[in-house]
Structure 1
Amino acid sequence: MGGAKVPVKVDGRELTLSNLDKVLYPEVGFAKAEIIDYYSRVAPVLLPHLQGRPLTVKRYPNGVEGASFFEKNAPEHTPGWVRRVRLPVPGSTKNRETIDFAIVEDLPTLVYYANLAALELHVPQWRVSPDGEALPPDTLVFDLDPGEPATIVECCRVALMLREVLEADGLTPRPKSSGSKGMQLYADWDGREEPSAYAKRLAQGLAKEHPEQVLSVMTRKLRPGKVFIDWSQNNPAKTTVAPYSLRARARPTVSTPLLWKEVESCEHPDELVFTTSDVLARVEKQGDLFSRA
């Protein structure tokens, strides 16, 4: 029965799963049970990247072809054992002064959210302390967004430019696909200055040096054929899709950590498209390419 509720115990926590055979990726017949299975199996490498980070999810209760919504506030029916932190949200679009964010730090919480059809997991570049206080950013991110007809191939070329600049500044960048059209570059952040200001300066410098390839402003009419380096993702109020998160595309693609040699050799967009089965095989072979050195 499609609406059957299935009680399960995950690492000692009791959960009720529902609609397990509901297809959420219609083009390939990928059902909720397979989503829960993927997140359960990838959890050992995914959870460290969610640890301590307030969660924003994008939920697709009727699948990727249906309506979706972002959710920051932990749902009212969230189990009591899910860690939550209450944080101020100045300028909230819903006029809320605070939001009770969930922190996904264990497999039961991850399964709980997968059962809500929370396909996409988004987190900020900062963590909270054990007491729930916001800590300074510990990660720098550059979101590389191609304007058609540019693709992730052009993003890879810009990523290599960024790598050179970041390494010259003593940072060690790590690339990943977005699971959608573009890619991201991450680096551990040492707090040398405000991260958005630093990222903006690098983006503007590359746009000035390579005006035919790179943009540092969001202006739509300038986008075709170029790669927009979105430095603003370092704003503390913004989030970026987490490594190993599913994306709501026609197929169950994943935001996938990459090897630099894959970035260097990429000549066709399909080379850097990975689905859940691809990612699980990569993790089994390579471990977590995004693990901290």
Structure 2
Amino acid sequence: MTPITEVEGRRLTLSNLDKVLYPATGTTKGEVLHYYATAAAAVLLPQLRDRPLSFLRYPDGPDGQLFFTKNPPPGTPSWVRTAPVPHRESEQAEQVVVQDLASLMWAANLVVEFHTPQWRAGAPGIADRLVFDLDPGAPATVVECCRVALWLRERLASDGLVAYGKTSGSKGLHLLVPLEPTGSAEVSAYAKGLAVEAEQELPELVVHRMKRALRPGKVFVDFSQNAAAKTTATPYTLRARPEPTVSAPVTWAEIEGCRAPGELVFLAGDMAGRLARHGDLLAPLDDPGQGRPVPGT
């Protein structure tokens, strides 16, 4: 029997709750939904609010078929909000915007990674945050990413900007910076300039170009996710990895002290304790008063 539950007055059909999605840990779909409903909802919803969603779906777990979609899936309830998003020069398409717990649980039941742009619906291409995706090329790991993150933190601070860190939930680290609303093209140009500067200052450690041949043993400072059409894994989303890893906010003390990759791997079951200990480390990102101007704009 498929259970039907009510969330904030909305009736939801939740399917296959006993299905094991993460064989390495035995984590079931029911446990995934429990993570989103209890540990994550209060801190994830502010990160999703007003941001058109892209979904990476993995309904049979990370070893099954993965597919990326921006369109509302077939059967999307009428009460799930959508927003028009420009996709090409003259085209607009609708994308889901998760504004409440019922919509979050509907989306989580599809088994998805949540990916969001750096701008909000209603102001496409006007970013209120900057992102760097620090991606290590083996044998480099998140330990090297942390060294690069510390350099970027200081460099951003010299421009009056404050950076916040989170794990990618995969191998790397993301830095997020609250901004005064600024055109994505300007943000991208500024971010590229800092990536180039990082490579010049740390040539043994950093590469700013995506070319695979350049990346072994170095950290790719990916600034491209600041482009209006790009998205980044949303804070607190689960990832389609062998274990139920979370794109988890981390403290600067954790980044400074990281000596082994496993120190910055956090699973769904870790997050309630981390939130009790640290609170929402990324709350400043959603405080408009924290946004600062991008130099030169």
> What TM-score results when the alignment is normalised by the length of structure 1?
0.93
Corresponding position: 1:57 with 2:44: no
Q: Deviations over 1:147-193 (max 9, x none)?
A: 00000000000000000100000001001000100010000112467
Using the alignment, how far apart are the partners of 2:168 and 2:125 within structure 1? 25
| Residue aligned with 2:275, SS | helix
2:219 aligns with 227
Stretches of 4+ aligned residues off by more than 2 angstroms: 96-99, 190-193
Runs of at least 5 residues in structure 1 that lack an aligned partner in the other structure = none
1:216 aligns with 208
Q: Deviations over 1:76-130 (max 9, x none)?
A: 3111111101222017xxxx93321000111101100111111x1000000013x
| Post-superposition offset of 1:135 | 5.9
Corresponding position: 1:97 with 2:94: no
Q: Deviations over 1:247-269 (max 9, x none)?
A: 11111010000100000010000
1:273 aligns with 265
Aligned residues: 282
Runs of at least 5 residues in structure 2 that lack an aligned partner in the other structure = 285-289, 291-297
1:164 aligns with 154
1:1-293 paired onto structure 2 within 5 Å:
4-41=1-38, 42-90=40-88, 97-118=91-112, 120-129=113-122, 133-134=123-124, 136-191=126-181, 194-292=186-284
Q: Deviations over 1:192-244 (max 9, x none)?
A: 67100000000001101111100110111110000000011100100000000
State the Cα RMSD in Å: 1.4
Letter of the structure 1 residue corresponding to residue 25 of structure 2: V
Q: Given that residues 5 and 12 in structure 2 are in contact (C-alpha distance below 8 angstroms), is that contact kept between their aligned partners in structure 1?
A: yes
| Residue aligned with 1:62, SS | coil
> What TM-score results when the alignment is normalised by the length of structure 2?
0.92
* Amino-acid identity (%): 52
Cα distance change, pair 34–199 in 1 and its aligned pair in 2 (3 A): same
| Residue aligned with 1:138, SS | strand
Letter of the structure 1 residue corresponding to residue 188 of structure 2: S
Cα distance change, pair 192–70 in 1 and its aligned pair in 2 (3 A): closer
| Post-superposition offset of 1:5 | 1.0
Using the alignment, how far apart are the partners of 1:231 and 1:191 within structure 2? 18
